[in-house]
């Protein structure tokens, strides 16, 4: 009976939506990697220049991380088989959290299975339906979902605009309010590559006694001394209440964390639902993350190489006539406008052995589709010159540049 009911269910709306997405150039077709991450990778059977991954420092296939993962499997097995609060907290998890706290210059850190889980853990643990959140209008989807789960009212302020935030807080969070106010911003915005004006946001938060939270997914390993992130970049240690980071980008593995005062971390051990109800990260992943922190603490050479490559590539692209938006980081958006144009541009690049993905609505606003180029410390100047040359070839074909 159950099977018959399933067969009779009308799912035409799914087919209709797929047709619409394809017609508008918004249908996502993930390609398949067949090699480790690196400057050059194998995708769908083709060796291509990799300008698409978040492997900023080249750690995703680093020998020290692989060795640490192998040793952890031998010592601890392949999985924890439990949530952290029951039988899933291994000595490796505690070691990673100690290392990250030292690296981030905070009292304590709690690690999670992903950056996404970190956001949906911390936001509902800090605010509820009696409270209010002030969120940058371009914040990441995981922040948006965490805000929705909290039940708090959400007020969006203009992107990277402390003056707009001040107006919104003054209007909606007046003195004498019994609820809490939480200000949330990305540290580096993943589609545009711009950096949050954190000093101005801190001033607003302190003036109104609001909690300030930064999701620094694309700042960890990229900004600050040795990649310590956006708070270190602006020298604002002790003035940002919550730092959320990811271990799946510059750190090269997978996972996330929340950094701050010990009282915050202890609160999340009691209230963070992904910590309470989802199995712990695997020993191999956790050990590899420990090795990544060790590398970053031992040398800032990978970070300096990343920034040298970024400046080189961006200037070459701008000199060629491409619009790279307002990026200040290794995220280099090549602005194209229409989603169909971006998808065709990406397809033609792939035919020329360059892997760079098109980004369209709803990830970015309508009419602001782009190719998002991700620069890595592993790229050579020859690699970057090759990428620019191929972009120019396709740009001329599609009349994006002259």
Q: Would you name the residues annotated as active-site residues?
A: 190, 218, 249
Tokens representing 260 are 């701050």
Chain center to CA of 9 = 37
- What are the phi and psi torsion angles at 166 (to 5°)? -60, -45
**DSSP conformation class of 281:** P
CA dihedral 42, 43, 47, 51 (to 10 degrees): -100
**In 10 A of CB 26, how many CB atoms?**
18
Q: 322: which residues sit within 8 A by CB, 6+ positions away?
A: 334, 335, 391, 395, 400, 401
Distance from C-alpha of 160 to C-alpha of 201, rounded to nearest angstrom = 9
- What are the phi and psi torsion angles at 359 (to 5°)? -125, 125
User: Tokens 């701008």 — which residue?
Assistant: 318
Distance from C-alpha of 51 to C-alpha of 330, rounded to nearest angstrom = 11
Instruction: Please name every residue paired with 373 in a beta bridge, in sequence order, or none if there are none.
Output: 332
Instruction: Please name every residue paired with 215 in a beta bridge, in sequence order, or none if there are none.
Output: 186, 244
Backbone conformation region of residue 295, classed left if phi is above 0, alpha if psi is from -120 to 50, else beta: alpha
**In 10 A of CB 66, how many CB atoms?**
15
Report the side by side order of strands in the sheet with 354-355: 40-43, 46-50, 354-355
CA dihedral 279, 283, 289, 294 (to 10 degrees): 140
Which spans in 234-282 are helix H? Answer: 262-271, 273-277
User: Tokens 């990250």 — which residue?
Assistant: 100
8 Å CB contact between 45 and 54: no
Q: 41: which residues sit within 8 A by CB, 6+ positions away?
A: 33, 34, 35, 47, 48, 50, 53, 355
């Amino acid at each position: 009976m159950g099977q018959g009911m399933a067969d009779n269910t009308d799912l035409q709306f799914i087919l209709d939506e797929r047709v619409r997405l394809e017609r508008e150039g918004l249908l996502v077709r993930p390609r398949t990697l067949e090699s480790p991450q690196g400057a050059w990778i194998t995708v769908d059977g083709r060796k291509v220049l990799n300008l698409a991954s978040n492997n900023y420092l080249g750690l995703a296939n680093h020998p020290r991380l692989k060795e640490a993962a192998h040793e952890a499997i031998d010592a601890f097995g392949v999985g924890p088989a439990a949530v952290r609060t029951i039988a899933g907290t291994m000595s490796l998890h505690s070691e990673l959290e100690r290392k990250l706290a030292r690296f981030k210059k905070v009292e304590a850190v709690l690690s999670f299975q992903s950056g996404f889980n970190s956001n949906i853990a911390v936001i509902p643990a800090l605010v509820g339906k009696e409270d209010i959140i002030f969120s940058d209008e371009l914040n990441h989807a995981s922040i948006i979902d965490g805000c929705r789960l909290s039940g708090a009212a959400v007020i969006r302020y203009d992107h990277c605009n402390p003056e707009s935030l001040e107006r919104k807080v003054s209007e909606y969070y007046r003195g004498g309010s019994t609820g809490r106010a939480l200000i949330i911003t990305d540290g580096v915005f993943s589609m545009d590559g711009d950096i949050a004006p954190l000093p101005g946001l801190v001033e607003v938060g302190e003036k109104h006694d609001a909690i300030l939270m930064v999701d620094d997914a694309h700042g960890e390993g990229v900004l600050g001394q040795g990649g310590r992130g956006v708070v270190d970049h602006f020298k604002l240690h002790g003035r940002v209440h919550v730092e959320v980071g990811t271990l799946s980008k510059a750190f090269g593995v997978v996972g996330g964390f929340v950094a701050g005062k010990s009282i915050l971390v202890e609160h999340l051990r009691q209230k963070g639902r992904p910590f309470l109800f989802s199995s712990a990260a695997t020993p191999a992943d956790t050990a590899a993350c420990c090795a990544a922190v060790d590398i970053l603490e031992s040398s800032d050479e990978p970070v300096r190489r990343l920034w040298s490559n970024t400046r080189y590539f961006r200037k070459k692209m701008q000199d060629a006539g491409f619009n790279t938006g307002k990026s200040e980081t290794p995220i280099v958006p090549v602005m194209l406008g229409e989603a169909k144009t971006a998808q065709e541009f990406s397809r033609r690049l792939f035919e020329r052995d360059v892997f760079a993905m098109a980004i369209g609505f709803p990830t970015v606003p309508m009419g602001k589709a782009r190719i998002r180029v991700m620069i890595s410390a592993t790229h050579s100047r020859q690699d970057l010159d090759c990428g620019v040359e191929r972009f120019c070839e396709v740009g001329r074909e599609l009349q994006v540049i002259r």
